[in-house]
């Protein structure tokens, strides 16, 4: 019984949809149609005066079967009268229908409208990648070092060289960047249970198609990364002290820009005196091949964390700069930051984070609350060799960030 009621309710819903979707008029053919006694129109048009609540479907079926054509027509006439002109009752026509005109008989000449509007080619949604790597029309995704670490095309399982640390043999390329970002995004830095870290590494290796023989190498790399001091003056400032609730992963930003062009960026960065921006970097920016644009800038910040009241911006880099930790010294990192336009990247990201914190953090002040930028080159970190290897840090001047935010 319940199933029959549910089926009738569903049929009533479908009948309602069919009747109410017509734009100008809807035709319904009705009469003593075979096996229509329990249909939705039967229930609506010819519901009996006494309807059993226990067997609604059976009651309708028996009632409709007992109706003659005249009685059925009388009920439909009553419906037409109650509709106040919304429903018209008419017998089906018996004369042949008039065939519609074929397409060939129609003499209408179609003339396309002339587009005389102006498309603003400078307005678009842009990103650091589109400015630097000419991917103007690709969607902005998280930065996985796709450009700076080209894939060798070799098999993922690579024989380890005995003379160097195994981490330098780990494959490069976009997939490696995605793997490392996934790993650190899902890693609890403060986790004391090493077996849980090893399980995360094993699952990540399997998910990305790498051999599990890399597990000890990646686990060792993680331990080195989270234990290296991030400030040379403070040995206790490490990622291992950052709790899960004090960090945001893959923070997406999206903010409006007035205008941006290579020449304008050259002019702005030329005003940024001294270290760490190289003297020739503004001219390098001006050589970027993108047309002047405006609209919006968007992107993803790998991680933002808060430590002792200050906010820090982190970018994970899997770039392979050499086969020794010493190849990741500050001079080499500075050279890589220049070659890959990472200075421009983190200044844009700092502007974005500054705007975000002003909106989300009551009382936020850049000079007091912003701790700095950390570019962590994962392969080149060894706490025993010191902070200066594998970690590039900077705190952009407040005046310049304010000017960039105003001028962009």
Where does 239-341 have alpha helices with state H? 262-270, 281-286, 330-339
What does the radius of gyration of the chain's CA atoms come to, in whole angstroms?
A: 35
Integer Cα distance of 53 and 94 in angstroms: 41
- The CA-atom distances, in angstroms, between 51 and each of 43, 46, 92, 230 are 10, 11, 31, 80
Whole-number pLDDT of residue 22: 85
CA-wise closest residue to 75 among 53, 50, 43: 43
What sign does the dihedral 134-137-140-144 (CA atoms) show?
negative
Count the neighbouring beta carbons within 10 Å of the beta carbon of residue 280.
Answer: 9
Whole-number pLDDT of residue 273: 62
- Tokens representing residue 18 in the block: 């069919």
Backbone phi, then psi, for 259, in 5-degree steps?
-165, 150
Mean pLDDT, contiguous 10-residue spans, the chain (408 residues): 84 90 86 86 80 76 87 87 87 77 68 90 89 59 50 38 72 91 94 91 95 95 95 90 95 93 92 78 90 92 96 96 93 94 95 96 96 96 90 94 92
Count the neighbouring beta carbons within 10 Å of the beta carbon of residue 6.
Answer: 10
Integer Cα distance of 341 and 252 in angstroms: 20
Whole-number pLDDT of residue 45: 85
Contact 11, 40 (CB under 8 A): yes
What sign does the dihedral 64-69-74-78 (CA atoms) show?
positive
Q: What is the DSSP string of 100-125?
A: PPPGGG--PPP-PPP------TTEEE
Which domains, ranges and CATH numbers included, belong to the chain?
A: 2-105 (no CATH), 124-407 (3.90.320.10)
Whole-number pLDDT of residue 139: 46
Whole-number pLDDT of residue 370: 97
Whole-number pLDDT of residue 148: 45
CA-wise closest residue to 317 among 275, 374, 372: 374
- Tokens representing residue 257 in the block: 């820009």
Whole-number pLDDT of residue 142: 58
Is pTM, for the whole model, over 0.95? Answer: no
SS3 content of the chain, % helix, strand, coil (to 5): 45, 15, 45
């Amino acid at each position: 019984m319940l199933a029959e009621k549910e089926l009738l309710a569903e049929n009533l819903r479908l009948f309602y949809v069919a009747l109410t979707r017509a734009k100008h008029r809807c035709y319904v053919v009705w009469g003593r149609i075979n096996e229509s006694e329990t249909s939705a129109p039967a229930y609506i048009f010819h519901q009996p005066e006494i309807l059993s609540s226990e067997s609604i479907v059976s009651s309708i079926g028996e009632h409709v079967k007992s109706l003659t054509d005249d009685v059925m027509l009388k009920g439909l006439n009553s419906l037409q009268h109650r509709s106040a002109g919304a429903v018209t009752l008419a017998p089906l026509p018996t004369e042949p229908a008039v065939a519609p005109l074929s397409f060939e008989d129609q003499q209408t000449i179609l003339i396309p409208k002339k587009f005389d509007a102006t498309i603003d080619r400078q307005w678009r949604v842009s990103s650091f990648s589109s400015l630097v790597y000419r991917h103007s029309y690709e969607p902005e995704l998280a930065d996985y070092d796709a450009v700076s670490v080209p894939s060798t095309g070799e098999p993922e399982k690579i024989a380890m060289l005995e003379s160097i640390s195994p981490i330098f043999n780990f494959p490069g390329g976009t997939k490696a960047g995605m793997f490392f970002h996934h790993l650190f995004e899902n890693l609890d830095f403060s986790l004391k249970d090493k077996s849980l870290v090893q399980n995360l590494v094993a699952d990540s290796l399997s998910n990305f198609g790498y051999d599990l023989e890399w597990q000890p190498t990646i686990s060792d790399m993680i331990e080195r990364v989270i234990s290296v001091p991030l400030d040379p003056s403070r040995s206790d400032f490490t990622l291992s002290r950052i709790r899960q609730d004090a960090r945001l992963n893959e923070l997406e930003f999206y903010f409006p820009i007035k205008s941006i062009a290579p020449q304008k960026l050259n002019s702005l960065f030329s005003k940024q005196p001294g270290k760490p921006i190289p003297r020739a970097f503004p001219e390098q920016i001006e050589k970027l091949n993108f047309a002047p644009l405006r609209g919006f800038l968007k992107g993803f910040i790998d991680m933002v964390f808060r430590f002792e009241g200050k906010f820090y911006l982190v970018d994970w880099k899997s770039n392979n700069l050499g086969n020794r930790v010493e190849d990741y010294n500050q001079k080499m990192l500075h050279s890589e930051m220049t070659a890959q336009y990472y200075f421009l990247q983190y200044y844009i990201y700092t502007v974005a984070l500054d705007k975000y914190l002003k909106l989300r953090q009551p009382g936020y002040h850049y000079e007091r609350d912003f701790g700095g930028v950390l570019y962590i080159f994962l392969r080149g970190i060894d706490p025993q060799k010191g902070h200066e290897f594998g970690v590039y840090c900077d705190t952009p001047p407040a005046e310049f960030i304010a000017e960039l935010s105003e001028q962009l």
